[in-house]
Every structure is written in structure tokens, then in C-alpha cells.
Structure 1
């Protein structure tokens, strides 16, 4: 039935029209997807079945699985989960611990799939897999329905910018292929998905073990379901483009092999660039034009997201590792305070007021984290919180000691993502996504400093006035976005 098989929460996701292989206009980009959900919902089995039915399993690997008769199922088929569970502990316990990436293809498209763990203590690994995915296959055991870990994984996937969900109601054969049970679960997730923002959900009843509605339709056992199979849904799902938005190049290295050459190396994190384009170097704000784009073996006439390049500018500017070269007409946010959402990944959680190292791309900075709200997975509400324990999903304020450079995560995954590192243990204690820049309309005291955000022209007038003339040596100017400056001066004794 269409109301259950295709739940359109929003029209934000569009379907790319199918083009026959080899024909002009065919989208050759692989679709990156993850399987997620609670433990024992059948994630590894589903991917194993996908690999098996799409002939992506090598002959020697298939023969090895068939010889292991102790791990065969009632249908005489091998344990498909063994195609994903590579760690000894995973095989012994029958669970997924680490993220496993596999590749498969159909006649229409190629895919990169990440099998992520369902146990709560391995939530950090699930977040890793979701950070690069275009689509999430969310598995639900038809007998158990929506669980807390199901909601947690769906929320993390949404925070990571995933806007396409396949709700795989698995083990439908264990509830006698009940249409009522399938629609009950689909409706419950539809209600929960209203809190996830603009997402598109396709619900599919299936049996991963038997392969029903995975690659082949199950008309005999589920005549009431008229929607697509899992593979059909994946083939028509669009890949997320990283070439939209402004040009971004986080500088990883300054190359100076001789006096006649100076280039700035890095991987393009967004947009595109060509010789002659105007760029701005952040945080200094200096401008220049691109004179040349160089790779290891040739000079190129353009570069796009994902390309590792060396940029040569038309004039000498001060650029160092950690700076960012951006398009002049479309610049990221800069500032000292940002709002973000994050997932706590260590037992100690996030401590308010503690200084952490924040790493984003090639830039590392000291930051103070102030938790503000935590997500209640049972109700979908954000409740005030002063501390974020392990696996909590929270919204925070980040206060930096020096200028920070970010895009909103929904605009650019690379320049909008970060990790927090404990300076004492060097553990990665959280992964986060920037949502906005915080602008305080009034001055706020920070120790012995006062921060004022003012338009550039107003800041110049204030500094030239007699009022601040005697304090000029105690004032520091930090440039933010175009047309704005931040004035910092010491408080009165």
C-alpha cells in the first residue's frame, strides 16, 4: 500500500531518473549507505545477502563459507553475517563491533555500504559510518518494533546530514508476513521522523535471511506490498553532491621546493576552482587570484571537491597550515563562538567549562564547551542539560580562544564537522556538527576581557574617538566576516 511503503516526510529529496548503462546522463557516482539499528535486527545478514545475491562474493570466499556447515542456516545457505564480521570477537559473539565497508554493484549503479554495530557501547563506530553516507538503511525487527537504539541511530544519522532513510522492517516472516504489523511500525517511525527535520523515508517489509524484497520481490508471500525492493530503492536514490556551495581548501602544507615556486596543498573540501578565480585566505582575510592548479603529474584547468591539489596564487600572501582558502564571493562563517550538536563518545562524557582540543580538518584549536540541551530519545524533546554523559546527543556552545572557521554542517560536511580531544588522555571524546555562529548583541565579559561585535566602520570610529584613545594599546582587532569586526579590550582594574 502506498501510504506505508512510501512515507514522504518532506519533498526535500529528489529521485534521479534512471538512465540505461552507457547512455549519456547516467549518474556514475557510487551511492554510499549505512545499515544501522538496534542489536540483532539483522544488519550484517542483510548486507551479506545483498553481496551474495548481487554476485559480489568472490568464488573462493563463497566456497569457504559453504564448507563451514556449522554456520549454515535452515535454508542450507551460509551465515551471511560472516561476510561482514571480520574480527575474531565478532565471529565468536555473533555481533558487529567495528565498521565494515563493502562494495557491490548492479547493472545500473555501484554502491559502498558500511555495516555499523547496534550495541550502545559502539555508538561511536556507528557515527563514523554515518559521517560519509548518503542514505541510511534503518533495520527494525518486526517482532520488537522501534527501540531506543533505533531512535538513537536514526537521530545520529539525521544529525550527520542524511536525508534519505530506508526503513527495513526485517524478519517479517517471523510475524507471519503481517501487513498490519508492518504498517504499525511504519506509522510509528513516521511520527518519530517528524523530529528529524526534512527527511524522505521508504518503508520496505523484508526477510534478509530469505532474501525477500531485498533483490527479488516477494509477491507470493507479501502480495499486499506493491512498493520497490531494497535494491530498486538504492538504485534510484541520489548521491549527495559536495560540489555545491563555495570553494573550500583547508591548507595542509605549504610547498616551497625552490625560490620560484610557492604552492598551498590540500584536498578540495567543497565547490570548484579554476585559474583566474578570486580567493580569500582565512582567517587573515587577504585576497588573491589563482594563477595555477598543480597536481603531482600535470597542470590542471580546474579542481573540484575531492581533488588533492596545489594552488599557486598570483601574489605572495601569508598562508600557513590550518588556514583555509575560500572563494571570495561565498565565504564560510568566522567567529569566536559557535552553536553545535554533538555525540559524546567516552564514559566521562562532556564536562561543562572544560577546555578541549577541537580538530577540524587540518586546524586544531582550544575550545571551551558549554552543554545546553540533551535529546530525550523517548519523547524527542530537547531538555536543558549541564552535563552530557556517554552516548548522549546534545546541543552545545563552543567558545574559542582564537578565530574559528566553519560552514554549517548541512551546507558542507567536511568544513562543518569536528572532533573534541581530551588534552589529558588524548581520547576522542565527541564528534560534532556546526549549526550556526553565535553572535552576542551585547558585550560579554570573559575573564579580564570584554568582547564587542561591531560593524567595521563603527569599530574604526570608536577606536579613533577620544573615549578609547588612552586604552589604544590594550585593544585588539579581530576580523570576522565581510563588513564586521570584533573589538577586544581589557576590562578596567
Structure 2
């Protein structure tokens, strides 16, 4: 999320729609600021001559930042190109961000560390959809100031009324988005007009040049507030030393200060402090520190050291805004890893309150979020985290979501506030627990999860297995996916979103049954690997067995006990697994049964024998 700087260094991005001239403007800015060595200029001249043989001697400044071959071939920026440069007044790190909607995630990456955005607009086109999208994302990422560069003024005859119309329209957008500061500048990036020097072709512009605006832009102020240190690393060179390393994200700390380890209620005092490897009495925001505590309490990566007198709030349920960056849609109920601060926790989007029309900022009803869409959502975590709203502390209020299967980052977002029910719901202690219930039944509780295509034989084998286990004196219950849809899940359809929720409910019910000491058999197609993994994680190690009933699709269609495949092939049944909805086979199931190799009875007997050691105390 948006960074704040303590030194005279400004991080900014260039963004806007495709072909507005971002790369050209940045290349020209580096050139006019005197930041191009002679060898770079010589290389640029050669590259420009090859790229534009019909314009000898003309430099194509976009080639300085469009480093990927694909970008040069297509004439667009794909990746985020970072450049460092400086003037006599200030140092800069700039991220040249892609303009095409397909690469919005790359633009969000660049914005995540910036405190100012240079938004380019083609004077001929005015504000476009992508201009509005990028501006919305800048506001989402906490960027509060924009330099509006109205480019290609030469193509509109340097008309000041065109510039003023675009400036007014963007100011209205900025006011709507909460962007506090906008400086508008008319420019011609290819010729350098108002880039580093004033342009005689636009004498009516009395404001700064682009370079002056960058040099005069206010630097972000340090986050005010109390001491906050997300623990990055626990250092234990020997058993008598335990140090906690990280970057102070807010406030300051001194030796002797009382701190709280969060989440939790453990307090201790700072015994020693090192800043950048040197002993120190105090440290302030932005400094990398190592400290030890007295007494020597237990803490780990992902926890936060906070001022004991003013700790962070803690919660597990939040209202948030997020930008979806995954190729596959975001489905409510699906589990993801949430990375916030230095911590990682399992998370689910429980509800999409609305998605945002980035053109008008109007809320729209939605059941899923597609690539590059922004939504206001409710977020549920596996356990409490220490946090602060993004507007107060971006380091503890920003997060990303990571897909459990691909490990790809699929969303970035901001925590707005904790939901009230998060603080009002607590676990109620019960004296009769799972161990007592299991002992009374003389068995180890277990969840046996059957997955496979419709017609593969899941229910048949599970039914025979339950008969076998019951005959052996075990206490069982069979949760069949079809049967549950008559009651608990009768409000769910068969869309991807509904399938995710269906499996979530089945997993929660099975979890309660295992807590009751039962051996519960769950039969559900459960087509998505992510939801099967979510189900497994609801149980303690050794309490979950995934059984893959592997039957070829052709065989399932021949059996077709309920006539569903025939309906699906005729187009009468939508979202049917194996036909027009995918099935993701388990990559490493605990038990893999090939149903064409043996009868259902023999498969059930073999499975009962395999489970015997897991059920018997």
C-alpha cells in the first residue's frame, strides 16, 4: 500500500490510458533533468534510428523505459519500470505503469509504494475509462496528490480552453475520489514543452513545469500515533538471546518502554535496542531495529509489538475494499491466505456488499468479482490480528490475498474497519470436549471425505463403508451432498459461488460431528481443490481423509443413475460438473480408488481395513 517517506525522497508513478504518452514523458523528463549518461543517449539514438528509420535524428524517449521486447513490438507498457533520478532539490523513484486494462494489476503494484501520481491525459481524448480506473486505484492505495499532465497539446493547437475543460473534469473526479491535491500542467512530451522548461508555445500557463511540480510536491508525513513494530524475524544466535527485528511503522520506542505483544495480552519492557546494527537508546518510525524484551516472552513473525498504553485494536472480521487481480473470479466463501504487515492468516470473503463502477464510482450489485474489478466486501479471518484502518496506518491496514493452489497474488486491499460482531462473539467453554465424547464411543473421530464426478460411485461405496463400520461397533454418520441440499443447503444453486458455499457448510457440519466424536462420511462432488483444502484445514492433523473415487467421465455418463448427464448434454442442466463446469481431480488424495478395478463392496471392505488403524483408539 502507499508508502510514506522520512527523507527527501519522493516516490511517484506515471499512469493513464494506453498511448497517452507515459513512457515518452518519463523518458523526456529524465533527459531534461540531465539524468541520461552519454552512453545511454548514444544507445537511445541507435535504438531510435532502428525503430523510426523515417525520422533520422529524432529521439524516441519511450524506448528508455519500455524495456520488454513485447512492449516495443506492441507500443505499450506491460511491466512496471522503476527508475531512480535526482535533481539539485530532491531525489525520486518513479514507476512507469502500464496503461492497458489487462495490466491493471501491474499498475496497482506501482501505486502500492507511491505517494504521488502523474496522470496523463491525451488532450484530444480527455478523461477515458482507464484514466478514471487508474485514478480510483490511486485513491484506493492512499495516494492523495496528483499531477495531471495534459499531453499532446500541439495536436489541439495549444488551445487553453481544451486544457481548462480537462482540468475541471478531472478536478471533479478527484473531489469525488477524495484526492486532496491536483496540479494540472499542459505538456508536449515529445518536444519537452513544460517538462523541465517553460514553453513559449503555451504562455497562458502560469503554473509550474512538471519537474518543478515534482520538486515542490509535499512529502508524505510520517504516520502519527503510538509505537507499532510488526515482527519480521526472531533472531536466536544462542539460547540466551532472543531478538525481534523489524521496521518501526509508527511512533517511537525507547529502552525501558512497556510494549504489548499482539494479538494477545502479554506485556514486557524493551531491554536493549539496536538501530541498523548499532546500540541505541531510542528508535523512530522508518528505522530498522532489533530489540530484546524483559521478561523473555514468546513472540513470532506476524505479531506486532505495540505501545502497552495504546495498543492496536484486534479483530477477525472486517469491512474492506479490494482490487481483484486474479484470472479466475473471486468467489465468496473460498479460502485465501491474507498477508498483512508481516503476518499470514487464512481468510474468506464472506460477502460482496457491492462492486464499484470505476467510471462513476456508483455501487453495483455483484455475486463475484472479475479481473480488475473493485468491491466493498466483508472479510472473515481464522483468528484475530492486530490492525489499524488503512487511513490511519497503511502498513497495518493494507493486505494482499494469495490463492492457496497457485500461490499467486489475486487481490490487494485495505481494511476499513472491524465489524462489531467480531468483538461480540466468543468461544464458549464446554467441560465435555471431543476427547471425552470420543472416549465414550471407544473410537477416534474422523472425517472421510469422498470426492468424484456425479455417478462415480461415491454414495454407493460410502453407504457400504458405513454398514461395515457400524457392524464393527463404530459410531458413524453419512452426510450425502444430495440429501443435505433438501434441507440445510436447499437455498443454494449450482453456480461456482453456490458450490463454494455448499462445501463450506458441509465442512462446518462435518467438523461439528467430528467434535461430537463421530466418524463422519461426507459424499460431495466438491469439484474445486481450494474448497477441499479448506475442508481439510477445518480438522486437526490426522482427522481428515480425502478419498478420490476415480471413475472416467465416459463411464459416469453410461451409468447416469439420475439422468443428469443426459439433461446436461441437451443443454437442459447448466453448470453440471464434467460437462460445462470443471472438476479439479485431487493431486495427492489420501486414498485413490479406481472403481473400474473392483466392485463397490470390495472397495468398501478395503477402505474399512485401511481406516481401522485410524479409528481404533
Kindly state the Cα deviation for residue 410 of structure 1 after the two structures are TM-superposed.
1.7
CA distance in 2, matches of 1:43, 1:77: 18
Is this contact kept in 1: 2:14–2:96, CA < 8 A?
A: yes
Deviations 1:391-414 (A, max 9, x none): 001111111121122211122222
Residue number among 258, 262, 272 corresponding to 1:278 in the alignment: 258
Matched, 1:325 2:305: yes
Displacement of 1:74? 5.4
Is 1:298 the counterpart of 2:306 in the alignment? no
The structure with more radius of gyration: 2
1:210 maps to 2:184 = no
- 1:248–1:327 Cα contact (<8 Å) kept: yes
- Structure 1 counterpart of 2:346: 366
Question: Residue in 2 aligned with 1:188?
Answer: 169
Say whether residues 1:419 and 2:411 are aligned partners.
no
1:121 match: secondary structure:
helix
24, 32, 36: which is aligned to 1:45? 24
CA distance in 2, matches of 1:278, 1:397: 34
Tell me which of the two structures has the higher relative contact order, counting C-alpha pairs closer than 8 angstroms and 6 or more residues apart.
1
Structure-2 residue corresponding to 1:393? 374
Q: 2:36 aligns with which of 50, 53, 57?
A: 57
4+ long deviations beyond 4 Å: 72-75, 470-474
CA contact (8 A) 1:96 1:118 kept: yes
1:442 to 1:233, Cα distance in 2 relative to 1, 3 A: closer
Is it true that 1:122 corresponds to 2:103 in the alignment? yes
Structure 1 match to 2:534: none
Q: 1:308 aligns with which of 267, 282, 288?
A: 288
Q: CA deviation at 1:422?
A: 1.3
Query: Residue 318 of structure 2 contacts residue 379 of structure 2 at CA under 8 Å; is this kept in 1?
Result: yes
Equivalent position of 2:359 in the other structure: 378
Partner residue, 1:406: 387
* Residue matched to 1:6: none
Residue 394 of structure 2 aligns to a residue whose secondary structure is: coil
Matches within 5 A, 1:89-128: 89-128=70-109
Distance 2:386 2:25 in 1: 40
> For the residues of structure 2 that align with 1:305 and 1:317, how far apart are their CA atoms?
24
Match of 2:505 in 1: none
Match status 1:77 vs 2:58: yes
- Alignment gaps of 5+ in structure 1: 1-26, 444-450, 454-467, 475-489
Structure 2 gaps, min length 5? 1-5, 434-511, 517-617
What do the CA deviations read for 1:227-273 (whole angstroms, capped 9, x no partner)? 11111111111221345222221112222222332211222223222
- Aligned partner of residue 210 in structure 1, secondary structure: coil
In the alignment, is the contact (CA less than 8 A) between 2:276 and 2:287 conserved in 1? no
Aligned residue for 1:172? 153
CA shift in 2, pair 1:441/1:287, >3 Å: closer
Moved more, 243-252 or 315-324: 243-252
Where is the strand percentage greater, Structure 1 or Structure 2?
Answer: 1
The verdict on how the C-alpha distance between 1:441 and 1:259 changes in structure 2, with shifts beyond 3 A counting, is closer
Per the alignment, residue 67 of structure 1 pairs with: 46
Q: 1:340 aligns to what?
A: 320
2:229 to 221, 224, 249: 249
User: What secondary structure, in the 3-state scheme, does the structure 1 residue paired with 2:20 have?
Assistant: coil
SS in 2 for 1:91: helix
Q: Deviations over 1:76-98 (max 9, x none)?
A: 43111111111121222221111
8 Å contact from structure 1 (residues 32, 239) kept in 2:
no
When structure 1 is superposed on structure 2, of 421-430 and 200-209 the one drifting more is 421-430
The 8 Å contact of residues 98 and 125 in structure 1, kept in 2 or not, is answered as yes
1:314 is displaced (CA, Å) by: 2.0
How far apart are residue 472 of structure 1 and its match?
A: 5.8
Between the aligned partners of 2:56 and 2:160, the Cα distance in structure 1 is: 24
8 Å Cα contact 1:192-1:380 kept in structure 2? no
Give the 3 Å change call, closer, same or farther, for CA 225–320 of structure 1 in structure 2: same
How far did residue 427 of structure 1 move? 1.7
Q: TM-score, normalised by structure 1?
A: 0.82
Q: 1:452 to 1:384 in 2, by over 3 A?
A: farther
Q: Which one of the candidate residues 140, 143, 146 is aligned to 1:162?
A: 143
Indicate the residue corresponding to 1:351 in structure 2: 331
Deviations 1:15-41 (A, max 9, x none): xxxxxxxxxxxx952111100111111
Which shows bigger deviation, 122-131 or 405-414?
Answer: 405-414
How many Å separate the matches in 2 of 1:213 and 1:175? Answer: 16
Could you tell me whether the CA contact under 8 Å between 1:243 and 1:272 is conserved in 2?
Answer: no
Match of 1:136 in 2: 117
8 Å CA contact retained: 2:104, 2:372: yes
